[in-house]
Amino acid sequence: MTEMKTTYPIDNYNFAGKRVVIRVDFNVPLDASGHVTDDTRIRAAIPTIKRVLSSGGSAILMSHLGRPKGGPEAKYSLRQILPTLERLLGTPVQFASDCMDGAAAGALKPGEVLLLENLRFYAGEEKGDKEFAKKLASYGDVYINDAFGTAHRAHASTAIIADYFKPQDRLFGYVMEGELEAIDKVMRHPARPFAAIVGGSKVSTKIAILENLLDKVDSIVIGGGMTYTFEAAMGGKVGNSICEPEMFPTALDILKKAADRGVKLIFSPDTLAADAFTADARTRLVPSDDIPDGWQGLDIGDDGKELFREHLLGCKTILWNGPVGVFEMDKFASGSHAVAQAVADATTQGAFSLIGGGDTAACVAQFGLTDKMSYVSTGGGALLEYIEGKVLPGVAAIRK
């Protein structure tokens, strides 16, 4: 990925002799044996942790993992990620089996690292409980939020805790700074033409994004299942494709607003349709607005790949959120692969590309193109809410 050259406040802070509470996002996938299957989020946090250690500080790491209900559960224990964290960090990591026991934090020496047990084992975390946040804050002299993936949550460790530190002692880590810089570059200061690629299955989940983007972009490339709600709203036949008839008025309203504002909406003229939602289904290429009964659109067609590619190669800023097909099945992955390659090629030619978290990041990784993009976000919900124009509690807590 393109390296950010900016100097951030964390670069100039003197951590010598200080205990630093760092909110990281170690909510990573585990297999049945408790082994980390994707260490992307852990790797992302390493530079911030190393910056603290290299300048003479000690680090107290806190995170959540999964959605435990009503207290501790072994399958959600952060103890399981210790081997991966120690390997990536290159140093031993102590573990506090109770995040409310501050003894281990108080005994930390410069250069040492402590990982607290899953914050969500306590109800106070998600409730944004002030006493819970105050207890966590008491462990350190400095607070760093480096968990962009949870920045949209007003939880104790992501927003409330900052109130217990002086303004100069609360900072963003490199992940947070990089995310905010990349998103601001796209949403506030984009080089033009600026195209957004919006995929996903339902219009209903992307209304706010589409509405907000209409005021900022020159074009929106629409793919994924939401395509068929638009096609049907315009009078097309979509067979058994995913479709939201209740969203027809909204889809038509978006089409009208785009036309009024001179924003070009681009749809694939053809669709790779299947007779079942299975990996071994029969397929055929059909017009996107004339899908036979009993068939459903699961990917863009060859003409769509060519149209999308030609358009994207002419853009200087590209925001991509949502695959354009069911990329998890090889038979329906070629459209998303073609789009990913087009974005990568546009980036090579000088465009700035921001890849949305979640499925889109997984899609790009599946095709081995992560390093060809300008920035791949680690946050799913947080990124979407920021694009929608919402204030993120975890960001506001540091900036206020």
Residue 49 DSSP one-character state? H
Q: In degrees to the nearest 10, what's the CA dihedral of 205, 209, 211, 217? A: -140
Active-site position among 41, 51, 120, 135: 41
Measured between alpha carbons, how far apart are the two ends of the chain, in Å?
31
Query: Which contiguous run of DSSP H or E holds residue 97?
Result: none
120 carries an active-site annotation: no
- Rg (Cα) of the chain, in Å, rounded? 23
Active-site position among 301, 358, 379, 394: 358
Structure tokens belonging to residue 364: 């790009």
Active-site position among 66, 102, 236, 381: 381
Strand intervals (E) in 75-123: 94-96, 113-116
Task: Supply angle C-alpha 203, 331, 294, rounded to 5.
Answer: 60
358 carries an active-site annotation: yes
- Indicate left, alpha or beta for 70 from its phi (over 0: left) and psi (-120 to 50: alpha): left
381 carries an active-site annotation: yes
CB 227 within 8 A of CB 288: yes
Measure the CA–CA gap between 281 and 275, rounded to whole angstroms: 6
127 carries an active-site annotation: no
Measure the CA–CA gap between 265 and 349, rounded to whole angstroms: 23
Sheet bearing 219-222, strands edge to edge: 264-267, 219-222, 194-198, 317-321, 352-355, 375-376
Active-site position among 18, 79, 185, 202: 202
Residues with a catalytic annotation lie at 41, 202, 358, 381
